[in-house]
Amino acid sequence: MTTKSLLAVLLLFAVIVSISGCTSKTATNGTFGEKTISLSNMSIVNNVTNGSYQYNGTNYHYIDGFVKNNNVYDAYDLKMKATIYDVNNTVLAVNDTPYYYSNGPVPAGGEMEFYFEFNDPNNQTDHYSLQLISVSAQAS
């Protein structure tokens, strides 16, 4: 192969690579290909329900609701915490292992239902609080 032919092939290759987008670097925090997700773009939807029930002589309190993902990426590994209180604002119990009605991520722009349950032997629950702890843009 002549020098001119080799130079022409290299030039053609350089042009193809430059227009293909392979050299563009659109990234967050300077890391190529990193997906980022913000916990502040996750919200607990206002249709949360809670109540008490008795099963086999034991009183339970439950909290059921939806969390919404307002991020552009799916939300993986969502961690939440619920706390129940009595009328004096004393903590009765904390639960950081909710049941999620789906095994997958919270889809971008979508919602996922969650459920917390507490053993409440004296039926003392007066109010509760919910907290979003952490979320990831990729499954761990």
DSSP state of 72: S
Q: Are the CB atoms for 132 and 112 separated by under 8 Å?
A: no
Question: Quick check: is 26 in a domain?
Answer: no
Beta strands (DSSP E) in 19-70 are: 27-28, 31-32, 42-44, 49-55, 58-69
Question: Quick check: is 34 in a domain?
Answer: no
Question: Quick check: is 29 in a domain?
Answer: no
The whole domain housing 55 covers 47-140
Q: What's the pLDDT score for residue 65?
A: 96
Task: Encode pLDDT of 7-32 as tens digits.
Answer: 666 666 666 766 655 544 444 444 55
Q: What's the pLDDT score for residue 126?
A: 96
State the total domains in the chain: 1
Task: Encode pLDDT of 43-66 as tens digits.
Answer: 999 889 999 999 999 999 999 999
Return d(Cα 126, Cα 93) in angstroms, integer.
12
Task: Encode pLDDT of 79-99 as tens digits.
Answer: 999 999 999 999 999 999 999
Question: Quick check: is 137 in a domain?
Answer: yes
Q: What's the pLDDT score for residue 103?
A: 87
Q: Residue 14: in which H helix or E strand, if any?
A: helix 3-20
Output the domain CATH number for residue 82.
2.60.40.10
Q: In the predicted model, is pLDDT for residue 4 greater than 70?
A: no
- Which residues are CB-contacts of 40 (< 8 A; sequence separation ≥ 6)? none
Return d(Cα 90, Cα 37) in angstroms, integer.
34
Q: What's the pLDDT score for residue 36?
A: 86
Question: Quick check: is 8 in a domain?
Answer: no
Q: What's the pLDDT score for residue 24?
A: 45
Q: Which of 90, 103, 101, 94 is nearest to 61 (CA)?
A: 94
Query: Model pTM?
Result: 0.73
Question: Quick check: is 119 in a domain?
Answer: yes
Return d(Cα 58, Cα 64) in angstroms, integer.
19
Question: Quick check: is 25 in a domain?
Answer: no
Question: Quick check: is 71 in a domain?
Answer: yes
